[in-house]
Amino acid sequence: MSYTLFLIFFFISFALASIISEYFGGGYLGTAAILLFALIWMLFSYYLGDRAILAINHAKEVRKVDYPHLFNSVEGLSIAAGIPKPKIYVIDDPAPNAFATGRDPKHASIAVTTGLLQEMKRLELEGVLAHEISHIKNYDIRYMLLVMVMIGLIGILSSMLVRMFFYGRGGRRSRSGGYLILLGIIFAIIAPIIAQLVRLAISRKREYMADASAALLTRYPQGLADALKKIARSEIPMTSANQDSAPVYIANPFRSKKDFFSNLFSTHPPIMSRIKALEAM
């Protein structure tokens, strides 16, 4: 499914680049130039993306002397999972939450909020950390980083199209006719929506897999289930989170209405479904 997702992203990016190139009369050479620029931008974002995610969420790297229990738990779970110990960050936010980011297990980080550290008991905290370590071990962090980069690219290309058609002058509008403008506007609107829906469908499966892997790692699924219950009950709004990085958190950091459309566009599967699956193990 991940390969299918990236093929869809490539097709959307290629189509957007082709329409932009056609608008300026660049042909295949113009399309290739836009895709080359996109590739360079993606590589740059891929290697620096995890730092950006940590920065925009106000995560600060901490020392073992400041959080000895947190470090000991991460070290023990990392050894059990067979991966290097990730860097540890803390976010000064009273809402309980956590996320993992990075390119691979050798370049990975875990960030937890101060609210999580204050509210969770030892086994609950270990359940959350095991979930994030499972994301690292399963290379979900690489997948999510790449997806965020590609969705960002599609957003940039779509925005360029809309601005060109509404504010631009000249181009090939007089020669290509209104069909190019209509096609470009329609595709610029629906492309990000399609990319987001496909990405959400696969991301939710990875959350369930990380929950199951965490249960195997700790041999105590109830710990993560209890942690998710506390996160679900928390009414403290998270102020440090960013909309673009919301999918990396263990639970949606933003409160949403429980209806069909909010669930359709949610970055996470329903938290009660995850709890039921864990308690059934």
pLDDT per position as a tens digit, 56-97: 999 999 999 999 999 999 999 999 999 999 999 999 999 999
Q: Please say if the pLDDT value at position 260 is more than 60.
A: no
Q: Say which range, 55-64, 119-128, 174-183, 206-215, has the weakest mean pLDDT.
A: 174-183
Residue 120 CB neighbours (<10 A): 22
pTM assigned to the model: 0.83
β-pair partners for 91: 59, 113
Q: Tell me, what's the pLDDT at 189?
A: 74
Q: Tell me, what's the pLDDT at 201?
A: 62
Q: Say which range, 6-20, 187-201, 220-234, 257-271, has the weakest mean pLDDT.
A: 257-271
Pick the CATH number of 56-142+201-279 from 3.90.550.10, 3.30.2010.10, 3.40.50.720, 3.30.300.30: 3.30.2010.10
Residues of the chain with CATH 3.30.2010.10: 56-142+201-279
Q: Tell me, what's the pLDDT at 101?
A: 95
Place of tokens 């990975």: 108
State the Cα–Cα distance between residues 207 and 168, nearest whole angstrom: 43
Q: Are 211 and 274 in contact (CB under 8 A)?
A: yes
Q: Are 93 and 113 in contact (CB under 8 A)?
A: yes
The two structure tokens encoding residue 86? 């990730």
DSSP code, position 57:
T
Q: Are 205 and 267 in contact (CB under 8 A)?
A: no
Q: Are 138 and 213 in contact (CB under 8 A)?
A: yes
Computed over every residue of the chain, the mean pLDDT equals 83
Active site residues: 132
Alpha helices in the chain (DSSP H): 2-24, 27-56, 68-81, 114-119, 122-137, 140-167, 173-176, 178-218, 221-233, 260-264, 271-279
DSSP code, position 245:
G
β-pair partners for 107: 104
Residue 10 CB neighbours (<10 A): 12
As a whole number, mean pLDDT of residues 243-272 equals 71
As a whole number, mean pLDDT of residues 157-163 equals 76
Closest CA to 202 of 140, 133, 130: 140
The two structure tokens encoding residue 151? 């969705």
Closest CA to 131 of 60, 223, 50, 267: 223
Between 190 and 232, whose confidence is greater? 232
